[in-house]
Amino acid sequence: MDDTLIRKEYGDISMNFFTDELKKITDRSEYIQKPKFVGQSCIFRLSDYVTGKLQFVTRGHADNYTALKLSLFNKREGPIDIQIMNIVDVIGRKRVLGELRSPYIWKYGNDIDWYGYHPNSNDYSALSETVDDYLSCFAEQELSEDEELNISLT
């Protein structure tokens, strides 16, 4: 059985472990609205021209997903930026069986789960806030009528 077949149902959306975990992050996001979950990724629109992709990635060890990768693309101009955020840098090391360990998702054969430590609500909120902090740098700011008038006059 392939890991993409390990799914949970969310209304009419079928999700795997990775997208289930991404949903726990995006549900708390101010900037990610109406995300689409495809394969092991979350795709979302940040503005009319900017699309984002959020996914868990490995960093040097196969099947140890230790980071979130956030990619932004402009429809007209192509790639904008890519940011990789280590999970441990956001939620810290966690005590597992008496030892402090860096949290990560572990894939072993057909089994996929957090290794030792399972994030709690505060951890998912911290991950979401970090994603939002990054996205806020690229989100289009709504201009007031006065600002729009000043721009059009110059």
Question: Could you count the other beta carbons within 10 Å of the beta carbon of residue 43?
Answer: 17
Pairing of β 99-101 and β 105-108? unpaired
**Cβ distance 44 to 34 under 8 Å?**
yes
- Confidence (pLDDT) at 2: 42
Question: Which of 110, 112, 135 lies closest to 20 in space, CA to CA?
Answer: 112
Q: In the predicted model, what is the mean pLDDT of residues 100-129?
A: 95
13-32 tens-digit pLDDT: 446 999 999 999 999 999 99
Task: Tell whether the model's pLDDT for residue 11 goes beyond 90.
Answer: no
118-154 tens-digit pLDDT: 999 999 999 999 999 999 999 875 444 444 445 455 5
